[in-house]
Chains A and B, each alone.
Chain A
Amino acid sequence: MTAALFLSLIVFLPAAGALLLAFIPSKSHNALRGFSLAVTAVVFLLTLGFFMPGWQGTFDTAQAGMQLAFNKAWIPSFNIYYFLGVDGISLPLVLLTSFISLLAMGASWSITKHVKGYCILFLLLETGMLGVFVALDFFLFYVFWEVMLLPMYFLIGVWGGPRKEYAAIKFFLYTLVGSVLMLIALLMLYFNSDLREIALASDLFENPQAAVSWEELHLSPQVTERVTTMLQPHADQFVAIRAGEVDMPGQSVHTFNLLAMAAIGQHTTQYDDALLFNWTLQEWAFLLLLIGFIIKVPSVPFHTWLPDAHVEAPTPISMILAGVLLKMGGYGIIRICYPICPEGGYNWMWLVCILGVVSMVYGAFAALAQKDFKRMVAYSSVSHMGYVMLGLGVWSVGMVGGLNPFNSDYWNMGIKGAMFQMIAHGISSAGMFFMVGVVYDRVHHRNLDEFGGLFGRMPVYTALAIGIFFAGLGLPGLCGFIGEVLVVLSVWNFSKLLAVISAGVVILTAGYILWAIQRVYLGPEYKGPHGEALTPMTPREVSIGAVLLIFAILLGVFPYHTVLRYMDATIDRQVDDLTEWTERVKHPSLEAQPEQQARATVPPTVAVVLAPVAPANVVQNGAVDDASR
């Protein structure tokens, strides 16, 4: 099986399954669900193929670049290509998606209305989600992003709770606003891109100082041929062209290729034109994309669609929403915002970090006040995804303030923490929503004050639920802890104030989780209606809950072996690239125009500049004395 076939199969198998579902009679509910479950299971097994050694689809952890990448013409007249691939950033998310989809489908037996439509939309949704994570053409990415939006709208709007229309439209409009902003940024970046310049900066032609590997951009052969025929005749003038003394021959070649865009953003000045307010195109594009993505994360103040959507969505859809959809925001920021617009990322780093911390604190406080179980969990998602924002934002740590020797290890740590937090939250929040759903299916209410005593009534359920809630609480040994600790520890060098605030969130988190556990699971008796319906979990429910808990434990105890080692190489590479960009481009420009620093160091009092020299490299004074003696 070729890479192209393998990745395409993973992405489109659910859609094909949805097509086949059309031929199963609407009445046979179990056949519909069973078939859908089988499809999600096959997709999950396929994604496990990345770990199977010794074939083309094997994922190589040592390799930093795109793997299994392929590029086929789709709408070549507009430079749109069918370009897929995985690397250390997308692989864990692809796995998470197929895994959570499988479990969520398993949790879909409680859906009894229009089962056929539900299953079809569910599978289309899975295609959209997987597509977003493997698409490397910006236009294709945008298409998958929209493909995922529509089924979600119907899944909430048709199968939701009492206020489903409101929630669905709110979700749809919010995401659509984000999409529109993304579309604007996409077109801005597209029309300002030009492959000729990057071709000259790369090793496509004989170039002693090649900064970019043309091969690694995975452009389609036609594009390469076009660029080559355009430029090759002028090979003797390349030095002069690079120096800007001679005009570039031919017409510009635009691209939607995300890797090529990143190379353009980091190695050319094509995105540096000044636009409105004298902000550069990069800054504008970063801001537009950032808003588009943080609506999805969601970050305060764009978060209020989330509690409504969760409260109204049926349980499996909540699992998908919290487990996978929110991660798309974080993925977009790390895959698109920073590499393509490093200048924007640098200048807006305070915005990203402060939004992250505000989300953490605000979400935690709001969770503490909720009376609705599911709303409480939804706000905990806001709080937990704040860690992701913060970790991605401190990406720029040590970059502040001009010429400094800095150690990029700490922002590397922040970004790894953010990635791990996304995976961990995918498991713990899906688990939490599932646990709420189990009890909701029985007693049909979610009022936190009308539970109690479930420990005695449903002991297995309580044990699993408490385990998963503790994963959300960030208890060591469970998955939530690792992401939080990696993020929080990386912040100090960026800003001590933000670090202290983010550390303080652990108290609030403990507060709302423990208080919820006390009100729901502990206590002498169940206080709400339909107490007679509190039957023990079915084996299907137990297996879903147990699998989630087992993964929460595995990720918490062996974070390196289960997750981090797959992303290490890619993230190291990306951080190194951006460090190199900072030293080569940003620091000289800051030295040249100190006033431009203004936006980068918004709160000057808390700006901390330097990541210290690692102690290992430093000769201890004592040792010197010793030697001289």
Chain B
Amino acid sequence: MESLPVLLGLAVLAPLASFFVILLLGPSLGHGGKSAAYVAIGAIVLAGLLSFISLGIWLANHWPEAPHDDHHAAASEHAGDAHEGESQNAKSAHDSHASEGVAGDSHAASHHGSTPPKVSGEYYVLAKIGDLQLSISYYIDSLTIAMFCMVTLIASCIHVYATGYMHDELHDITDHEAHTADGEHVHRPGRFHRFFQYLSLFCFSMLGLVLAGNVLMVFVFWELVGICSYFLIGFYIERKSATNAANKAFIVNRVGDFGMIIGLMAIWSSLGTFAFDELFEAVRPGPSHVLQTPDGMVYASAQDRVRDIARELGPDATPDQLETAIQERATTENWRNVGPDGKAPGYGYWLLIVAGVGIFCGCVGKSAQFPLHVWLPDAMEGPTPVSALVHSATMVAAGVYLAARFYPFFAPEVLFVIAIVGAITLFMAATIAITATDIKRVLAYSTISQLGYMMLAIGMGGWLAGVMHLVTHAFFKSLLFLCSGSVIHAVHTNEMPEMGGLIKKMPWTAYTMLIGCLAIAGAGIPFVIGLSGYYSKDAILEQGHLFMTTNPGWGAVFFWAAAGGAAITAFYMFRMWYMTFLGKPRNHHRYDHAHESPWSMVAPLVILAVFAVGVAWPIPFSSLRLSTLLEQARPAGGLNDMQGVLVNMVWPNEHDSHAASHVIPATLIAFGTALSGILLATMFYVWQPHLAGEVRQQFSPIHRFLVNKWWFDELYDWIFVKPTHVVSGVAARFDRNWIDWIVDGSAKVTRRFAYGWEWLADRVVVDGFVNVFAGWMYSLGLATRRVQRGNLREYVLFILVGALVLFVVISIFRVTYAGGS
């Protein structure tokens, strides 16, 4: 077990190494950059091998138990292991805290209270501030390992597939969808190696996200997968639509991240940690692991009370005394359960909700949930392998992954929000998918809808159902996308009305895609066996049924949204398949040029089809299967019924959904809806093809509403984008027109003043005085000039008179002032 952090750490770093190799050597990697693909494939396959070795090590230490039997002993054994793992990594700065948590847990032996087995610790420190610490850390449990295996497996398949799909990029390309100003197509060199470079960076980021041991690190990799998604969506940088879609994806995700940062702030400011195990211990302390408002949040919210206590104790109290007093008072007055107005919710409960909803906002952005779903359909501008890997199987599922990982932290009210968002999303996206004609957009809306399913499951307390669907969906949806890519590769269009009858030209693609459609519809023989979707979707419906029995009102909404969504899903998936592969070719030119894709593309389809069929199957003669493996990661206390505080609802224990009273109706309804959806599609598009057009005309307002995607883009443009530009324009003009006006104006005024002052003070006053004085002197000179007439006798007379006057003056002076001695 000690080797897991090293192995998985290397699995994360291998694609990063590949990224740097391709970045620096790029085109010079042999065969016009073709070797870049080998580098990237080597890295991801290596990561895959390391992941599966880790899975082996994990299974050797924690063989999953069979469901529905007595396994108390096993559970306690796991708990013990977990502490071993934890204490190995006791070097963390939160040493005392961690060991306290262990001491608290070690009594936990009861089934419902056991903590899941895990290995957690840190790699290195990002920042240390007193007792606070941010670090790069890891948290490994069976969910982590399952995600690693899923991501690396699908990514390996897609890497291989992309060598075929992106083949054109090996040489110069004429991009028919990008035009220069004079209307010519853009000619550009191929960017084969760039594509693999981005893919490698993405794999690094995605694996890092899954490995993350604290929420901040999740956020770090969250942004990194976002930026990879940005690069990959905008891969065809010459196309305006692609770069717009890339910007839209990143910015809409940032809106979600904005909420996530608020959640992070609420957590960090009150609890002082981001580490998963410490957060979970704070919010669900052992041994009962029942959700409660963490002490830090209680005290943070009860500041007024804390201040009162501090005042009572006076200024001389030590912090320790104060702390003790606060704790005593909090316990006796029950701050946790009784709020400031003497009622529930108690202090800090709102903070817990803000934290949970904030984190969920991030998930809404990343997983394209309502109301931030608008970026994902546009993201289909990227090459199809990207859509398969990033925008269906892995990155967009990261939101669901985080919701599942953070599940123990969610208060019932947060789960309620999650369920509502999930239900709206799954229904809305499914309806839009009905009318989409672009094959990739059908799949994109289908992805949104399926992600809504997962969120709904988690929001209803169906943790395992949601996570199971995450894994199974990854396989069949990536399969569907790759099949669509194979079709697009053959006919060079995304528009289904241009296709038709392709099953004859490309049977491998057609049949593997049929498997994908059946899997997503949840096809199977009820109660016996089915494709992977059968297990996960039925589990969601079972939980929905259970939820409906405990909470009739909202439960019914959720359950029927899920069931109705299932019918619509089956309908639009088969609509897509029929329009593409059956019927008569609608565009003969394209049909004639169509051909089955090369082996490098078909082989991944077959592999993924195998997994889409069997990934959830039980392995014969053993208790190992997807559900039991994931069950090991179920959060501590995840099997307690939860009563809402602000909403009067109960979140039922997921194990209860396995009772026959829920399984039988849910399975039958799932089967019925899927079958009816498929039949309806068959009727509209195979048996009575003219019906579709008639219905479209009959319901044209609804059709317009759906074709325009509920007018979300237009709405957001009006209420967000345009006002932002207006405000930014105002800000810029304010600078130029007002602040600079004042600055320049004051400069001008100063200069005017200087001119004026110069005129008044210097020219008028000073110069004036000088000039006047000079004038006097001048006129005096003029006046006395007349005296000088050159007459010698007059001069002698003047000298005489002058001397006499001087004599008299001096005499007077001497007599009066000098004392006349």
Chain A residues engaging chain B, CB cutoff 8 angstroms: 170, 173, 301, 303-304, 307, 362, 365-370, 401-405, 407-410, 412-413, 416, 453, 455-456, 463, 470, 475-477, 481-482, 485-486, 488-489, 491-493, 499-500, 503-504, 506-508, 510-511, 514-515, 518, 521-525, 527, 558-561, 564, 568, 572, 587-588, 591, 608-623, 626, 629
Which A residues are CB-close (under 8 A) to B179?
524
Cα–Cα distance between A623 and B105 once the two chains are bound (Å): 9
**Which of B122-130, B638-646, B811-819 makes up part of the contact surface?**
B122-130
Ordered by A's residue number, 10 sampled pairs between the chains whose C-beta atoms are within 8 Å are: A366-B731, A409-B130, A410-B132, A453-B238, A486-B127, A514-B251, A524-B179, A560-B128, A609-B307, A616-B96
- In contact, B258 and A615 (Cβ under 8 angstroms): no
Known: A476-B221, A626-B104. A612 touches B282 (CB 8 A): no
Contact of B300 with A by CB under 8 A: yes
Q: Which residue of A lies closest to B732 (CB)?
A: A369
Residues of A within 8 A of B238 (CB): 453, 456, 522-524
**B273 surroundings in chain A (CB, below 8 A):** 615
Q: Which residues of chain B are near A413, meaning CB under 8 Å?
A: 127, 129, 132
Are B131 and A614 closer than 8 Å at their CB atoms? yes
The answer to whether residues A610 and B315 also contact, given A366-B728, A507-B254, A621-B285 and a CB cut-off of 8 A, is no
What number of residue pairs across chains A and B have CB atoms under 8 A from each other? 240
Given A485-B216, A511-B251, A613-B299, output 18 extra A-B contacts at Cβ < 8 Å.
A368-B725, A369-B731, A403-B307, A404-B303, A492-B265, A514-B247, A518-B243, A518-B246, A523-B243, A524-B186, A525-B181, A614-B131, A615-B97, A615-B271, A615-B278, A616-B97, A616-B131, A617-B323
B104 touches A524 (CB 8 A): no
Residue from B130, B216, B303, B315 in contact with A591 in the complex, judged by beta carbons closer than 8 Å? B315
Interface assignment of B257: CB less than 8 Å from any CB of chain A = yes
Provide the B181-225 mask, 1 if CB < 8 A to any CB of A, else 0.
100001011000000000000000000000000001001110110
Determine the chain B residues whose CB is within 8 A of the CB of A493 once the complex forms.
269, 300
B102 to chain A, nearest CB (A): 11
Q: Which 6 A-B pairs have the closest CB atoms?
A: A622-B285, A368-B728, A476-B220, A369-B732, A409-B130, A612-B300
- Chain B interfacial residues counted at CB < 8 A: 98
Check B262 against A500 for contact (C-beta < 8 Å).
Answer: yes
Contact B258 A506 (CB under 8 A): yes
- A612–B295 Cα distance when bound, in Å, is 9
Q: Chain B nearest CB: distance from A80 CB in Å?
A: 32
Instruction: Across the interface, name the chain B residue whose C-beta is closest to A619.
Output: B327
Min CB gap A487→B, angstroms: 11
- Residues on A with C-beta less than 8 A from B166 are none
B757 shortest CB reach to chain A, Å: 18
Chain A residues with Cβ under 8 A from B107's Cβ?
626, 629
CA distance A583 to B701 in the complex (A): 69
Residue of B nearest to A462 (CB): B237
* CB of B100 closer than 8 Å to a CB of A: yes
Cross-chain contact A475 with B224 (CB below 8 angstroms): yes
The answer, yes or no, to whether B333 is at the interface (CB within 8 Å) is: no
Q: How far is the CB of A450 from chain B (nearest CB, A)?
A: 12
B247's partner among A367, A408, A489, A515 (CB-CB below 8 A) is: A515
Interface segment among B398-406, B739-747, B783-791: the answer is: B739-747
A408 proximity list for chain B (CB < 8 A): 130
Inter-chain CA distance A621–B254, complex, in Å, is: 38
Q: Do most interface residues of chain A lie in helix, strand or loop, or is the interface mixed?
A: helix
Q: Is the CB of A476 within 8 A of B265?
A: no
Digitize B697-734: 1 where CB-to-A-CB distance is under 8 Å, 0 elsewhere.
00000000000000000000000000011011111110
Q: A489-B269, A609-B303, A615-B294 are in contact. Are A482 and B735 (CB under 8 A)?
A: no
Instruction: Tell me the residues in window 138-179 of chain B with beta carbons closer than 8 Å to chain A beta carbons.
Output: 178-179
B760 within 8 A of A: no
- Residues of chain B whose beta carbon lies under 8 Å from any beta carbon of chain A: 23, 94, 96-97, 100, 103-104, 107, 124-132, 178-181, 186, 188-189, 216, 219-221, 223-224, 227, 230, 234, 237-240, 243-244, 246-247, 250-251, 254-255, 257-258, 261-262, 264-266, 268-273, 278, 282, 285-288, 292, 294-297, 299-300, 303, 306-307, 310-311, 315, 319, 322-323, 326-327, 331, 336, 724-725, 727-733, 735, 739-740, 743, 747
Contacts of A366 in B (CB 8 A): 728, 731-732, 735
B307 touches A401 (CB 8 A): yes
> Shortest CB–CB separation between residue A552 and chain B, in angstroms?
14
A456 to B172, CA, bound (A): 12
Q: Which residue of B lies closest to A166 (CB)?
A: B744
CA distance A114 to B251 in the complex (A): 46
A275 CA to B724 CA, complexed, in Å: 44
Task: Determine whether the beta carbon of A522 is less than 8 Å from that of B269.
Answer: no
Q: Check A405–B130 contact: CB distance below 8 A.
A: no
CA A408 to CA B96, docked complex, whole Å: 20
Of B237, B257, B733, B747, the residue contacting A455 (CB under 8 A) is B237
Please name all residues of chain A whose beta carbon is closer than 8 Å to the beta carbon of B311 when the two chains form the complex.
402-403
Across the interface, A564 reaches (CB within 8 A) one of B103, B127, B178, B247, namely B127
Q: In the complex, what residues of A have CB within 8 A of residue B230's CB? A: 514
> Are the CB atoms of B127 and A404 closer together than 8 Å?
no
Closest residue of chain A to B265 (Cβ to Cβ) is A492
How distant is the Cα of A362 from the Cα of B732 in the complex, in angstroms? 9
Whether B265 pairs with A510 at a CB distance below 8 angstroms is no
CB < 8 Å neighbour of A492 from B237, B266, B306, B739: B266
User: For B310, what are the chain A residues with a Cβ–Cβ distance below 8 Å?
Assistant: 403-405
> Across the interface, which residues of A come within 8 angstroms of B731, CB to CB?
362, 365-366, 369
Most B Cβ at <10 Å: residue of A455, A485, A508, A515: A485
- Take A413-B132, A416-B129, A623-B100 as given contacts and tell me if A613 and B326 are in contact as well, using a CB distance cutoff of 8 Å: yes
Q: How far is the CB of A430 from chain B (nearest CB, A)?
A: 22
**Are B300 and A610 interface neighbours, CB within 8 A?**
yes
Q: Are B180 and A476 in contact (CB under 8 A)?
A: no
Which residue on chain B has the smallest CB distance to residue A575?
Answer: B130
Pair A503/B294 contact, Cβ less than 8 Å: no
Q: Is the CB of A370 within 8 A of B732?
A: yes
| B732 neighbours in A (Cβ, 8 Å) | 365-366, 369-370
Question: Smallest CB–CB gap between A410 and chain B, Å?
Answer: 7
Which of B94, B189, B299 is within 8 Å of A616, CB to CB?
B94
Known: A475-B227, A492-B265, A506-B257. A524 touches B178 (CB 8 A): yes
Tell me the minimal C-beta distance from A348 to chain B in angstroms: 22
Known: A488-B265, A614-B272, A618-B296. Contact between A404 and B307, CB under 8 A?
yes
Question: What's the minimum C-beta distance from A463 to chain B, rounded to whole angstroms?
Answer: 8
When distances are taken between beta carbons in the complex, the residues of chain B under 8 Å from A412 are: 129-130
